Amino acid sequence: MNKNLKRLINILNDGQYHSGSSLGNKLNITRTAVWKFINQLKDYGLSIDTIKTKGYCLQQPLILLNARNIAPPCPIKIFDSITSTNDYVKTVKKSPFICLAEQQTAGRGRLGRNWYSPFGLNIYLSCLWDFNKDISELSGLSLITGLATIKTLTAYTKDLKIKWPNDILYKDKKLAGILVEINAETHGSSQAIIGIGLNVNMPGAINRAPTWISLMDIVKKPQDRNKLTSKLINQLWNYLNKFEKHGLKSFLSEWEKYDYLKNKKIKLMHGEKSIGGEACGINDQGHLLVKHRNGNVVAYSSGDTSIMGDRKGRPYD
Question: Shortest distance, CB of residue 297 to ligand BTN, whole angstroms?
Answer: 26
The answer to whether the beta carbons of residues 162 and 146 sit under 8 Å apart is yes
Residue 317 C-beta: closest distance to ligand BTN, Å: 8
- Pick 34 or 70: Cβ nearer ligand BTN: 70
Closest by Cα among 117, 62, 44, 122 to 87 = 117
Shorter beta-carbon distance to ligand BTN: residue 153 or 196 = 196
Contact between 199 and 153 under an 8 Å Cβ cutoff? The reply is: no
Alpha-carbon span 192 to 301, nearest angstrom: 18
Which residues, other chains included, contact 112 with Cβ-Cβ below 8 Å and sequence gap of 6+? none
CB of 275 to ligand BTN, least distance (A): 20
Q: How far is the CB of 123 from ligand BTN (least distance, A)?
A: 8
Residue 62 or 180 having the CB closest to ligand BTN = 180
CA atoms within 13 A on the CB side of 208: 16
| Residue 106 CB, nearest approach to ligand BTN (Å) | 7
CA dihedral 26→59→123→207, nearest 10 degrees, is -160
Using CB under 6 A, list all residues that contact ligand BTN: 84-86, 104, 107-110, 113, 115, 124-126, 167, 177-179, 195-197
Cβ proximity of 118 and 45 under 8 Å? yes
- Are 279 and 299 in contact by the 8 Å Cβ rule? The answer is no
Choice between 126 and 201, CB closer to ligand BTN = 126
- Tell me the residue nearest to ligand BTN as measured from the CB: 177
Q: Which has the closest alpha carbon to 180: 139, 151, 219, 150?
A: 139
160 vs 179, which CB is nearer to ligand BTN? 179
38/205 with CB nearer ligand BTN: 205
> How far apart are the C-alpha atoms of 306 and 296, rounded to whole Å?
20
Closest distance to ligand BTN from the beta carbon of 17 (Å)? 34
